[in-house]
Amino acid sequence: MRPGGAARLFAMRGTARRTDGFIEGATTTMFVFKRWTAAAAMIGALIAGLGSAGAGDGQPSNWQLNFQLSATPVMDEIVKFHNYLLYTIVAITAFVLLLLLIVIVRFNARANPTPSRRTHNTLIEVAWTVIPVIILVGIAVPSFRLLFTQLNIPPADLTVKATGKQWFWTYTYPDSGNFEFDSLLVRDTTKLRPDQPRLLGVDNEMVVPVNKTVRVLTTGAEVIHAFAVPAFGIKIDSIPGRVNETWFKATREGIYYGQCSELCGKDHAFMPIAVRVVSEQAFAAWVEEAKRKWARDGSAPTNVAQAEQATR
């Protein structure tokens, strides 16, 4: 078997140093340099293609580099703001690096043996106060705008209540039939449907219509959980004794996975959130079926023992 790229590279460099003459060594160095340039170009290309390449759709993907693909207007805004911040910090970091390099090269003891004794420069002092303030305002304005979009819930087309329990989710549809059902991880991997990822697939998905504003009410039954779906750009604590709310408007059909995001006990890692976004007609059909299946008959709410039985 041939050794891998990096190993081969170092092996060649080693050989050149030990046995080969100057010319041979120079060629190898040149080769190594070209290799690194190629690697840098490849990383550059990867970063350039971040928007789509390697991003998971509705779930994480292998070698994912960026966020999961956005599926709501709020997540679109989050991605935009993230990119804007990334450009801003790269520019600041590059500028500071440039200043450092200038200091290192031009003002070291050898290059500049008799340093200037100047201690004040009004112009530069005003500049290094005002420019950061302008940068911070430039960050704060879109940041608050985004926060407002997330917190100001538009008129909702339907409401879904997600109750975090140890360790599964219960979804209630108060204004579309008033049914309620539990959503549990499919623990037995042989029971996973082909399209269901391990540790994310659930028995009963939360189903919502596409292009409709969904208000999510969330609470915890016994401890704090958190309802989070990365592709929707939502993450909100589910706290016992109070109801938090958030919203999303999924713009693409598909299945979107999330996880409980507040450490809630031993099976915290095993209470995934699965949201299936379907057409309006498919949603209406699902509601009819769900009403028959899960209509609330006033019986006692599901408890952990029942839920565990259901998974066996």
Which CB, 264 or 273, lies closer to Cu ion?
264
- With beta carbons less than 8 A apart as the criterion, state whether 262 and 192 touch: no
d(CA 259, CA 270): 8
C-alpha 145 chain-centroid distance:
20
d(CA 285, CA 304): 30
Can you give 68-118 as a three-state secondary structure string?
Answer: CCCCCHHHHHHHHHHHHHHHHHHHHHHHHHHHHHHHHHHCCCCCCCCCCCC
Which CB, 70 or 261, lies closer to Cu ion?
261
Report the nearest approach of Cu ion to the CB of residue 267 (Å): 8
Report the nearest approach of Cu ion to the CB of residue 166 (Å): 8
Which CB, 13 or 268, lies closer to Cu ion?
268
Using CB under 5 A as the criterion, which residues of the chain lie in contact with Cu ion when the complex forms?
A: 225, 260, 264, 268
Which CB, 161 or 268, lies closer to Cu ion?
268
Report the nearest approach of Cu ion to the CB of residue 184 (Å): 14
Which CB, 201 or 209, lies closer to Cu ion?
201
Residue 1, SS3?
A: coil
Tell me the two tokens of residue 148.
């407002």
Q: ∠283-285-289 over CA atoms, to 5°? A: 110
Which CB, 208 or 264, lies closer to Cu ion?
264
Report the nearest approach of Cu ion to the CB of residue 237 (Å): 10
Report the nearest approach of Cu ion to the CB of residue 308 (Å): 16
Which CB, 264 or 278, lies closer to Cu ion?
264
Report the nearest approach of Cu ion to the CB of residue 259 (Å): 8
Report the nearest approach of Cu ion to the CB of residue 260 (Å): 3
* Cross-strand pairs, 218: 162, 244
Beta-sheet strand order (sheet of 168-173): 179-183, 168-173, 158-165, 214-220, 244-248
Query: Under 8 Å CB-to-CB from 233, ≥6 apart: which residues?
Result: 70, 72, 74, 75, 77, 78, 150, 248
Token look-up 């209630």 returns: 172
